[in-house]
Amino acid sequence: MALLIGALTIGLILSLLALGVFITFRIFHFPDITADGSITFGAAICAVLLAKGVDPFLATAAAFAGGLLAGTVTGILNTYFKIQALLAGILVMTALYSVNLHVMGKSNVPLLSESTMGTYAERVGALVSGSAGDINLGGWLVSMRDISMLLMAFGMVALIGLGLYLFFRTHIGTAMRATGDNAQMIRALGANVEGMTVLGVAISNGLVALSGALLAQYQGFADVQMGIGMVVWGLASVIIGEALVGPGSLGLAFTGAVMGSVLFRLLVAIALRWGLDPNDLKLITAAFVFAALVLPRILARFEKKRGALKAVAGAQPESVLHA
Amino acid sequence: MLELKNVYKTFNSGTSNEVPALCGVDLNIEEGSWVIVIGTNGSGKSTLLNAAAGSFPVDAGAIRLADHDVTRWPEHRRAEMIGRVFQNPFSGTAANMSIAENFALATRRGLRRGLGWALSAELKKNLRDRVKQLNLGLEDRLGNIIGSLSGGQRQALTLLMATWLKPKLLLLDEHTAALDPKSADQVIQLTDEIVSREKLTTLMVTHSMHQGANLGDRLIMMHRGRILHDFRGADKRRLRVNDLLARFEEVRRAEQLDETAADMLRLTYI
């Protein structure tokens, strides 16, 4: 049970990363890998501030702001300095590695006795249930801290997801979506495409850093290595989400990204439980994304070939059109 | 309304692919005038439109639009005054967004885009009324993805989007060239309707001699980055398709003459 709750919580926390990746990769068609650096950046800022005794909400907000800043730099490198999106992301990600070490002062900041958002959640949970001990959940004993943290993560993701959905349906949000869809058109309609792109990448990295801040508070430390491979992780979540909800409206796509992140984390937790070597995790994640990208194309080609064969046989000429 | 003074533009300057596209173009378009631009391939017709729209900075010269010197204005800033329809029906609309959302974008052309709700009830109502006038039967499909429509439908909608807020200048870049004849006719009819009703200052590039002869109140013919002929008033009204074809033939002959003359000189002197 603890395993399940843990997986759900981490899945929800990382769904903010998935939402960030969704914004850059899917809405802006901007392959931004700054996320590998900004998730650690968010965790580092938050952990250091917490260690100094800053209020957890303030520290988390500061991490979000740090992510915004990192994304802004990537966006500006891409739009005003005309550096390819991938390279701009690599540059900022690499630079952030040093920045993160400076922020933390060492490679790992533990959060053992500091008051975090988890502490807050636990306190609220205890207040609601009337006791601070473990609670009985359908026969399973669950620690108050775990269940409070899960509920808090769920609440935050729901709130942020709704906020994003509403934002992308305002005038400026709609213009941002159009920027990724058809830059020529939205420029002719008077939108500053460069500005829109910078804003989009900034928001994306803000979310990623927020995810990092929550992750650090949940697992109790920030580590300079924790961001490695996170873009691929987010991308895997987005792809699973798309498979779950199919093509559809924006709200559905956001929901899908969150669901994808949770499901992916659950699958990973189960695989690890069954004895998967944790060292292989990144390799398997990368292989999974590769398969998800390539399989649809191979299947389509296969279908086409079959359709063509059928057509030659004269059985069903329409199948060529369907393929 | 639009004034180009001695405008120069060369693409790929300094390379072996150097293309002089505009070579000292002077053009002054009065308010409410509908100017047709024709010319051979590579004569600089589209470049002229793009220079006015601000798609690239010009090498030399000045561009004035509605009493503003817009020479150094970026494209998105000029968009406040300019409505555009592109040759490619896919260029003027965001394919993965709904018809209504595309119009929501067009209603804020040149205006600040804040945190207001893009698809307001008021817009939806106005939109239904105005789309209904197109007689394309699209008024009940406003929530549909615009990419699911045909090229002709998309071009008609783009035209309506470009003129939703009355532009000081309407730029039409061969906006029917990629359509089938029937759709092209419909879009041209709609263009005529909107431009005449709103008295829009319009600059329209076309390949169709028929459109050139029948539309607009002024026609310029471009060749090699220069304005070769400029017909207006009664001269423009008298123009027929055959006259235009004759002008093209003239250009072709002149080109040939130049080449044979050059050959003769080479044979004689080298």
The domains of chain A are located at 2-226, 279-323
Query: What is the spatial distance between Cα B25 and Cα B7, in angstroms, rounded to a whole number?
Result: 5
Q: Is B165 on the interface with A (CB under 8 A)?
A: no
Strand B226-232 vs strand B218-223: parallel, antiparallel, or unpaired? Answer: antiparallel
If you average pLDDT over residues A102-120, what whole number do you get?
88
* Residue A302: partners with Cβ closer than 8 Å, 6 or more residues away: none
Residue A209's pLDDT band (boundaries 50, 70, 90)?
very high
- Model confidence at A140: pLDDT above 50: yes
If you average pLDDT over residues A120-147, what whole number do you get?
78
Residue of B nearest to A193 (CA): B76
Residue A302's pLDDT band (boundaries 50, 70, 90)?
confident
If you average pLDDT over residues A236-263, what whole number do you get?
91
H/E/C letters for each residue in B207-240? CCHHHHHHCCCEEEEEECCEEEEEEEHHHHHHCC
Q: Tokens for A193?
A: 């495409």
Residue A308's pLDDT band (boundaries 50, 70, 90)?
confident
Residue A323's pLDDT band (boundaries 50, 70, 90)?
very low
Mean pLDDT taken over chain A: 89
A-chain residues within 8 Å CB-CB of B111? 190
Residue of B nearest to A163 (CA): B115
What was the ipTM of the complex prediction?
0.87
Residue of B nearest to A165 (CA): B117
The domains of chain B are located at 1-81+169-186+199-270, 93-166
Asked if the Cβ–Cβ distance from A170 to B116 is below 8 Å, we say: yes
Q: How far is B168 from chain A (nearest CA, A)?
A: 14
The tens digit of pLDDT for each residue in B133-148 reads 888 888 888 989 999 9
If you average pLDDT over residues A142-160, what whole number do you get?
90
Residue B194: burial class (beta carbons within 10 Å; 0-12, 13-18, 19+): middle
Q: How many CA atoms lie within 13 A of A105 on its CB side?
A: 7
Query: What is the spatial distance between Cα B52 and Cα B83, in angstroms, rounded to a whole number?
Result: 11
DSSP label at residue A138:
T
CB A245 within 8 A of CB A255: yes
Residue A212's pLDDT is what?
Answer: 97
The tens digit of pLDDT for each residue in B216-244 reads 999 999 988 889 889 988 888 888 888 88
Mean pLDDT taken over chain B: 89
Q: How far is A53 from chain B (nearest CA, A)?
A: 36
- b (16+ CB within 10 A) / e for A200-237: bbbbbbbbbbbbbbbbbbbbebbbbebbbbbbbbbbbb
Residue of B nearest to A192 (CA): B76
Calculated CA dihedral for residues B116, A190, B152, B190, nearest 10 degrees: 90
If you average pLDDT over residues B72-94, what whole number do you get?
93
If you average pLDDT over residues A33-42, what whole number do you get?
96
Asked if the Cβ–Cβ distance from A174 to B105 is below 8 Å, we say: yes
* Residue A87: partners with Cβ closer than 8 Å, 6 or more residues away: none
Residue A72's pLDDT is what?
Answer: 97
- Model confidence at A52: pLDDT above 70: yes
Residue A318's pLDDT is what?
Answer: 43
Question: Which of A119-128, B9-18, B179-188: highest mean pLDDT?
Answer: B179-188
CB A60 within 8 A of CB A46: yes
Q: Any idea which architecture B1-81+169-186+199-270 has in CATH? A: 3-Layer(aba) Sandwich (3.40)
- Model confidence at B70: pLDDT above 60: yes
Residue A320's pLDDT is what?
Answer: 40
B-chain residues within 8 Å CB-CB of A167? 115
